[in-house]
């Protein structure tokens, strides 16, 4: 099974090197693809240096800040082109623990097509978030679940493993969303194409260093996009 871990980056210079090393301690057979949006802190230089000495590490350096959703779509296409079997989405800031990667892959090996690392499948498992942000995330997921009709507890999770065969069923060129909206859209499309989906509990940690990419624009995009998904489903346009 060929596994590609896709990590979008923007100003993650402090985190990316230790994260890559931690991932390979857990799952040395995987490859890692960093999709960097021309980070002002030159995150891509760190990745380039690592890739010179490790043929498991790859870099796509983009010309500007195009966003998380387009970064993942570019990574998915790269995985399809290079004949990977499974892709993993993972943040660069240690909010997702490399030690959980084996549990994601184990579920894929059991026959699931999409395995989501869920903060909310067993209560609330988030460390070091202010209460306001925690409540926003929790109720945003509840809202998205009600509107879309997708019974996934953590629809906005950015930590997951996906079979490439499931990704091939999606028209990736039609995905234009970013941030939380992108995660909801991917989950919605895979679930509604009748692939086998499950969630596993994880503990989500606030980033070790750097700044959060959360914004009002990202929240509004997700709030509106779930209605578009619902309407498209009603019209048979999944």
pLDDT top residue among 68 and 213:
68
C-alpha torsion 114→2→23→49, nearest 10: -130
Distance, CA of 170 to chain centre: 16
Q: The domain containing residue 143 runs over which residues?
A: 3-234
Q: What share of the chain is helix, strand, coil (3-state, %, to 5)?
A: 45, 15, 35
**Residue 214: its pLDDT value, please?**
54
Say which residues have a Cβ less than 8 Å from residue 198's Cβ, sequence separation at least 6.
107, 112, 114, 115, 116
pTM: 0.91
DSSP string, 17-69: HHHHHHHHHH-TT-EEEEEE---TT-HHHHHHHHHHH-TTEEEEE-SS---HH
Distance, CA of 87 to chain centre: 10
pLDDT beyond 70 at 72: yes
What CATH number does residue 171 fall under?
3.90.550.10
Percent of the chain with pLDDT over 90: 74
Reported confidence tier of residue 215, pLDDT bands at 50, 70, 90: low
Buried/exposed code over 187-208 (b: 16+ C-beta within 10 A; e: otherwise): bbbbbeeebbbbbbbbebbebe
Count the domains in the chain: 1
């Amino acid at each position: 099974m060929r596994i590609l871990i896709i990590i979008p980056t923007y100003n993650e210079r402090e985190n990316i090197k230790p994260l890559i090393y931690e991932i390979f301690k857990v799952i040395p057979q995987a490859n890692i693809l960093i999709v960097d949006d021309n980070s002002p802190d030159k995150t891509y230089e760190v990745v380039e240096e690592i890739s010179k000495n490790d043929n498991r590490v790859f870099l796509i350096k983009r010309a500007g800040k195009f966003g998380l959703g387009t970064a993942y779509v570019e990574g998915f296409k790269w995985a399809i082109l290079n004949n990977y079997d499974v892709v993993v989405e993972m943040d660069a800031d240690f909010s997702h623990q490399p030690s959980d990667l084996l549990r994601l892959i184990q579920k894929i090996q059991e026959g699931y097509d999409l395995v989501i690392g869920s903060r909310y499948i067993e209560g609330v498992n988030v460390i070091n978030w202010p209460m306001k942000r925690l409540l926003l995330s929790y109720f945003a997921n509840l809202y998205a679940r009600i509107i879309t009709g997708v019974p996934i507890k953590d629809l906005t999770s950015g930590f997951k493993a996906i079979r490439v065969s499931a990704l091939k069923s999606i028209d990736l060129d039609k995905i234009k969303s970013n941030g939380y909206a992108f995660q909801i859209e991917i989950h919605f499309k895979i679930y509604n194409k009748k692939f086998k989906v499950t969630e596993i509990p994880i503990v989500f940690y606030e980033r070790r260093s750097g700044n959060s990419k959360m914004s009002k624009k990202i929240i509004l995009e997700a709030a509106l996009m779930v209605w578009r998904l619902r309407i498209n489903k009603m019209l048979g346009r999944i």
